[in-house]
A and B are shown apart, each in its own frame.
Chain A
Amino acid sequence: MKMNGARILLECLKLEGVETVFGYPGGTVINLYDELFSFKAIRHILPRHEQAGVHAADGYARATGKVGVAIATSGPGATNTITGIATAYMDSIPLVIITGQVPTALIGNDAFQEVDIIGITRPCTKHNFLVKDVKDLATIVKKAFYIARSGRPGPVLIDLPKDVQIATTEFSYPESVDIRGYKPTVEGHPRQIEKAVSMILASRKPLIYVGGGVVLANGAEELTDLARKLGVPVTTTLMGLGSFPENDPLSVGLLGMHGTYCANMAVTNCDLLVAVGARFDDRVTGKIATFAPHAKIIHVDVDPTSIKKNVRVDLPIVGDVKGVLSRMLKVAAEQSAKVKAFAKDLAPWRGEIEAWRVKHPLGYKSSTSVIKPQLVIQKLRELSDPDAIVATDVGQHQMWTAQFFQFNKPRTLLSSGGLGTMGYGLPAAMGAQAAFPKRQVMVICGDGGFQMNMQEIATLVQNRLPVKIVILNNNFLGMVRQWQELFFDKRYSQTCMELPIDFVKLAEAFGAKGLRATKPAEVESVIKEGFKIPGPVIMEFKIAREEKVLPMVPAGASLNEMVLNA
């Protein structure tokens, strides 16, 4: 059937299984929006800023595992998406972003609302496409979704000129695409996998280091199974949290800059480190020269560039985590007696780790007069559903959430790790809630980052998305203030927010509800009440203003040189 480009795009989205898109109209997408007006198969959510639209698509993708879709107009609409795209790129989140573009004949003429978005997004997308002919559109959309979700996932941008949306052609959607320059290695090498199992069975102090790749690959079940069968302790990165239940005795929690004492000691003392879908980020390794100094390293990753980028690797396995782990499980099952004995023999190593945990457990000084942020996080866990989804913003509250919430299921933590984007949390929660209208979705944010995208409360109210917004209000850009306290003699340069905002009234102005706790005794009742209210709610907690995130590995120090209490 003959259709115009705008309609073809929508038909393609439908065939890709897209149910919800986040977008903002404008001159160069007005034809697309006209088609959308009568296209009922797709739900469109209108955020209040294109950045928030992309973060929402990102939150949708992280929570569901599907490709998130965002739309923006050319020029300022397109440039507003950049932070969202870069955020998704750094955390390998599958997105397809569609931007309008000036008509092909005007491209390069400094036309009204023209920017070279292909040039601008080249370094922060997995790939991007300019559609020059409506006949190529369907194939390009097919390729975009395939590239976004396969291999190491990532955002893909399609720039769609206005005249291409108007031009018509016969529509047919290709069943599959073959891109000769793009053939990700998904299956891990069988011999390497067997070798990995032998290396594990030959070790005395093994540690599994789990990253976001396990979440992205939906490999949490296989990972949990393998770790338990082998009796090997597990540490997770910020992005890996939830892929191994933190309430399991084998979990040693977060590692890295704000990791637990026992996790960082375990890394420093292990004799074998099995990295699964993790990329040895500098927040994790600390000083490279002293990272895991006694360990052989096995690294499983679908992206060859992640391997040996920062650290030496003794056994690389390029492949999809899920497949590699199931194969490892099979290999282990073939020698189950040996595996059992091995797991038993690890008791002293597990005991060593347990001793570190007992020596310096995660903790904080409680108070009866002022609200400690860690208490709020613990209460949120206690009073929320086991499958509740938690988005965070970026800062101290993010680290307290990572340390104290206890994540037991994959895709329940949505957090900007790689780019560390303030303003991410609220729109990401919005996207997750759009995907799961019935599940409990909350965002834990700071007073600073909340103000970077707080306009989205309007979107929540309008679309009946009952996100619970938790603000840990220290009236500081707390994370930066902490660095100033520790490394710059408490010279709090531009980190005090000065103006106290009435967040309760702010919620009400948008037609949402607002609650506030100023004393520890009020924490529980505010959370209970907040969760009971059917619509979006702001719960503001006035917290101890100069509380620090600890432990902390100072930048450039070794993992075992943690500041435990300062």
Chain B
Amino acid sequence: MLHTITVLVENEFGVLSRVAGLFSGRGFNIDSLSVAPTNEETLSRMTIVTRGDDQILEQITKQLNKLIDVIKVIDFTDGSAIEREMALIKVTAEDVSRAEVLRIVDIFRAKIIDVTPKSYTIEATGAPAKIDAILELLRPLGLKELVRTGPVAIGRGAKGWKG
């Protein structure tokens, strides 16, 4: 089962490799990982998508917490978070398909950010499932290149955790 975990870490050199090394060393999966500093400059926030049963997830959270540079770990699984991901997508767009791409972009409230006579580059944002959906429609038209950020997540409701 997929889990989205948010990890608040010291914004120090080497921390990313400690986290990544923990996953590879213990045979845990990383589906995606995104990391950037927060509004407090000494902290970075990672969003990791991983998979495993409850027992594995419990180990992942505990092992992450055990790292000295990890300050907080939250396992967002039960729909308690909003997730957003961005994708940059280069598709073939010639003749008839140019209009079709525009229609799809419009439906998904995506944006065209680069145009050539033979292609469109699209910026799409949304929940990971939405990105999957737009890709499914675009793929038959000819996907030339794809970059996904992996999701970032934030808890629902008024309560925030600092950083």
A122 interface contact, C-beta 8 A: yes
- Are A119's CB and B17's CB within 8 A? yes
Q: Chain A residues with Cβ under 8 A from B17's Cβ?
A: 119, 122
Chain B, range 30-47, C-beta contacts under 8 Å to A: none
- Are B21's CB and A181's CB within 8 A? no
- Are B63's CB and A305's CB within 8 A? yes
- Are B71's CB and A305's CB within 8 A? no
A309 interface contact, C-beta 8 A: yes
How far, in whole Å, are A180 and B10 apart by their CA atoms in the complex?
A: 9
- Are B25's CB and A305's CB within 8 A? no
Q: Which of B54-62, B109-117, B128-136, B145-153 contacts A (4 or more CB under 8 A)?
A: B54-62
Q: How far is the CB of A5 from chain B (nearest CB, A)?
A: 20
- Are B59's CB and A182's CB within 8 A? no
B103 interface contact, C-beta 8 A: no
Nearest to A184 among chain B residues (CB) is B66
Chain A, range 177-212, C-beta contacts under 8 Å to B: 179-182
Which of A118, A130, A303, A305 lies at the interface centre, i.e. has the most chain B CB atoms within 10 A of its CB? A305
Given A118-B14, A122-B18: A304 and B62 interface contact (C-beta under 8 Å): yes
- Are B63's CB and A147's CB within 8 A? no
Q: Chain B residues with Cβ under 8 A from A118's Cβ?
A: 14
B65 interface contact, C-beta 8 A: yes
How far, in whole Å, are A68 and B9 apart by their CA atoms in the complex?
A: 29
Cβ-neighbour of B68 out of A147, A303, A305 (below 8 A): A147
Q: How far is the CB of B66 from chain A (nearest CB, A)?
A: 6
- Are B65's CB and A304's CB within 8 A? yes
Chain A, range 101-122, C-beta contacts under 8 Å to B: 118-119, 122
A308 interface contact, C-beta 8 A: yes
- Are B68's CB and A181's CB within 8 A? yes
B85 interface contact, C-beta 8 A: no
- Are A122's CB and B21's CB within 8 A? yes
Q: How far is the CB of A31 from chain B (nearest CB, A)?
A: 24
How far, in whole Å, are A200 and B51 apart by their CA atoms in the complex?
A: 37
How far, in whole Å, are A123 and B20 apart by their CA atoms in the complex?
A: 11
Q: How far is the CB of A154 from chain B (nearest CB, A)?
A: 10
Q: How far is the CB of B135 from chain A (nearest CB, A)?
A: 36
Nearest to A122 among chain B residues (CB) is B21
- Are B59's CB and A305's CB within 8 A? yes
B70 interface contact, C-beta 8 A: yes
A228 interface contact, C-beta 8 A: no
Cβ-neighbour of B71 out of A147, A181, A303 (below 8 A): A181
B74 interface contact, C-beta 8 A: no
Q: How far is the CB of B60 from chain A (nearest CB, A)?
A: 10
Chain A 302-322 interface mask (CB, 8 Å, partner B; 1/0): 011100110000000000000
B123 interface contact, C-beta 8 A: no
- Are A309's CB and B59's CB within 8 A? yes
B67 interface contact, C-beta 8 A: yes
B94 interface contact, C-beta 8 A: no
A229 interface contact, C-beta 8 A: no
Cβ-neighbour of B10 out of A123, A181, A305, A309 (below 8 A): A181
A439 interface contact, C-beta 8 A: no
B69 interface contact, C-beta 8 A: yes
How far, in whole Å, are A147 and B21 apart by their CA atoms in the complex?
A: 20
- State the interface size on chain A (CB cutoff 8 A): 17
How far, in whole Å, are A182 and B71 apart by their CA atoms in the complex?
A: 8
Q: Chain B residues with Cβ under 8 A from A308's Cβ?
A: 55, 58
- Are B70's CB and A181's CB within 8 A? yes
- Are A123's CB and B25's CB within 8 A? yes
Which of A119, A127, A179, A180 lies at the interface centre, i.e. has the most chain B CB atoms within 10 A of its CB? A180
- Are A305's CB and B62's CB within 8 A? yes
Nearest to B9 among chain A residues (CB) is A181
Q: Chain A residues with Cβ under 8 A from B59's Cβ?
A: 305, 309
Chain B 1-31 interface mask (CB, 8 Å, partner A; 1/0): 0000000011000100110010001000000
- Are B21's CB and A127's CB within 8 A? no
Q: How far is the CB of A418 from chain B (nearest CB, A)?
A: 15
Chain B 71-94 interface mask (CB, 8 Å, partner A; 1/0): 100000000000000000000000
Nearest to A123 among chain B residues (CB) is B25
Nearest to B54 among chain A residues (CB) is A308
Q: How far is the CB of B14 from chain A (nearest CB, A)?
A: 7
Q: How far is the CB of B119 from chain A (nearest CB, A)?
A: 39
Q: Chain A residues with Cβ under 8 A from B65's Cβ?
A: 304
How far, in whole Å, are A303 and B66 apart by their CA atoms in the complex?
A: 8
Q: Chain B residues with Cβ under 8 A from A123's Cβ?
A: 21, 25
Q: Chain A residues with Cβ under 8 A from B63's Cβ?
A: 305
- Are B21's CB and A305's CB within 8 A? no
How far, in whole Å, are A180 and B163 apart by their CA atoms in the complex?
A: 13
Q: How far is the CB of A299 from chain B (nearest CB, A)?
A: 13
Q: Chain A residues with Cβ under 8 A from B25's Cβ?
A: 123
Q: Chain B residues with Cβ under 8 A from A180's Cβ?
A: 71
How far, in whole Å, are A179 and B67 apart by their CA atoms in the complex?
A: 11
How far, in whole Å, are A242 and B90 apart by their CA atoms in the complex?
A: 67
Q: Chain B residues with Cβ under 8 A from A130's Cβ?
A: 14
Q: Chain A residues with Cβ under 8 A from B14's Cβ?
A: 118, 122, 130
- Are B67's CB and A181's CB within 8 A? yes
How far, in whole Å, are A183 and B129 apart by their CA atoms in the complex?
A: 38
Q: How far is the CB of B80 from chain A (nearest CB, A)?
A: 22
What are some 21 contacts across the A-B interface (CB < 8 A)? A118-B14, A119-B17, A122-B14, A122-B18, A122-B21, A123-B21, A126-B68, A147-B68, A180-B71, A181-B9, A181-B69, A181-B70, A181-B71, A182-B68, A304-B62, A304-B65, A305-B59, A305-B63, A305-B66, A308-B58, A309-B59
Besides the known contacts A119-B17, A123-B21, A181-B67, 16 further A-B residue pairs in the complex with CB atoms under 8 A apart: A122-B14, A122-B18, A123-B25, A179-B68, A180-B71, A181-B68, A181-B70, A182-B68, A303-B66, A304-B62, A304-B65, A304-B66, A305-B59, A305-B62, A308-B55, A309-B59
Q: Which residues of A contact B (CB under 8 A)?
A: 118-119, 122-123, 126-127, 130, 147, 179-182, 303-305, 308-309
Q: Which residues of B contact A (CB under 8 A)?
A: 9-10, 14, 17-18, 21, 25, 55, 58-59, 62-63, 65-71
The 8 A-B pairs at the shortest CB distance, nearest first, are namely A305-B62, A181-B71, A127-B68, A182-B68, A304-B62, A123-B25, A181-B70, A122-B21
